[in-house]
Chain A
């Protein structure tokens, strides 16, 4: 795994601070060497080549880069990769199995919860954090939980329906 940085030209390579971290991503254990300034979103996208996590605004607004860290939704453009040391990360790639979509993914398909799809991975991960905590959310709960994720296509209506669809399916599976 290689991440390439710009060379400022004024430092010896051995003076560039690098740290070795150990973490789990989608159930797989990993060790990485990172510069402290590397953001978690970049470790995921460039280091691990998991490009399902999108970087949209890059300013902590849009939520397209949302992943779960120890089950909690986090904007991965606003967390340092070194801070993932010892933690468990889930990205959108961890939702489906080889043969089956996750109910959230099915929900987005059934209820037309996406158009361009850019915000979708972040929406799904924020929704997963909600459903893990509250398996029977109201429409208001869903809107509240997704209020840190921006979508410029759908007007949110179908995204909310998709999450409620997934909640129904997950409850019927559990029941």
Chain B
């Protein structure tokens, strides 16, 4: 997204703040009046992922992990970014996850309140070891999720209206198709915003900033 997008609210904010200088305290969060809108997909009837549980193979140093299942909700006061992908994906997945990593770096200390959960759509080839190393390349705060059954994967996908397919071709190659959006979930399991492929680092960062403000208030 263009810098103009992010700059506009600031410019709007200045005259408002100046004119209301004496009233801000009484109004409360006067700045909220001109809060940046979200840039991604916002549904009138939000998707929900509370109650959706996926096998968690995150290696916390004592593999297998102590807690081997994970409900797709954020920690209290935090956000959870959910992505469906696979590690042998050279284009779409690293492009998306790099965008998220760059946004997290821009957030600075606030990034400690954002976790990344990657659910592999290719659990047969993505072992726990591979998935841990892969997702851990993008952030230290991650969940490596490896569904143990097709039902488990399909249930998780259905919650996000996501989908995937793994096809073994006659020549031995494996063709993986998958929906490419990423999702931001709050601590109630509400999907607050969805980002399409290549949504842009500026947009992703902006949405995370806006949503982090929301989940703390």
Binding partners A and B? no
User: What residues of chain B have their CB less than 8 Å away from a CB belonging to chain A?
Assistant: none
